[in-house]
Amino acid sequence: MKKCVSIVLVFCLLLAAAACGASTSAPEKVVKTYIDSLKKGDFDAAAKCVKGAVDYPADVAGEMIHNTFPFISYTISGCEIDGDRAAVAADITNVDMNKLFMTLIPEVMEQEGAGASDEEVEAFVVRRSEELMNKPLAAKVTSSVEISLQRVEGKWYVVEDGALWDALTGGLYGMVMGGD
């Protein structure tokens, strides 16, 4: 009798554990890992979640893009799977880089007018944008995006695109790359 009760209890625990894990789909977990890795600056972990890559600059603009990641917050609101493709709906919030640049541009012009070199202006832009992003009342923007995923050999991968990157960077990607 004890053995029978034990088997039933183990079976119930396994069902409960399976039910707990069923609330989040595999594509949603990949999106969560991807965004959380970017937030932490773990680009190697984020890269493992990606199928295809979006181009972004490796200069000052690229540095600024990376500097936006710690400010990301997000919610995942759903997932639709259709064969080897999936779409995860998410609301991604970050510092509103359009508003930040409205403050930054006059300051940059002042630096250039004072005779600062290109290198000095670039360093100023990175430093000042970080200061503005870190302000407690920095304006935020939320973008609703549909994150595409593709299943390859049984594993889900995020398919990066400009809309996703623009949401992740608070609009900076679109400004730098001229939209998508």
Q: Is residue 162 part of a domain?
A: yes
Q: Answer whether residue 82 is part of any domain.
A: yes
Query: What CATH number did the domain enclosing 33 receive?
Result: 3.10.450
Domain boundaries, position 37 = 24-94+142-177
Helix runs in 134-177, H state only: 162-168, 172-177
- pLDDT beyond 90 at 75: yes
In total, how many domains does the chain have? Answer: 1
Inside any domain, residue 77: yes
Query: Tell me: the pLDDT tens digits for 112-151?
Result: 999 999 999 989 988 998 899 888 889 999 999 999 999 9
Asked, for residue 102, whether it belongs to a domain, the answer is: no
Does residue 123 lie in a domain region? no
Confidence of residue 64 (pLDDT cuts 50, 70, 90): confident
- The packing angle between helices 97-113 and 118-133, to 10°, is 150
Q: Residue 124: inside a domain, yes or no?
A: no
Q: What is the mean pLDDT of the chain?
A: 82
What integer pLDDT is reported at residue 13 of this predicted model? 33
Q: Give Cβ neighbours of residue 2 (< 8 Å, ≥ 6 apart).
A: none
What is the reported pLDDT for 74? 97
Assess if residue 65 is contained within a domain. yes
pTM over 0.85: no
**What integer pLDDT is reported at residue 43 of this predicted model?**
84
Q: Is residue 6 part of a domain?
A: no
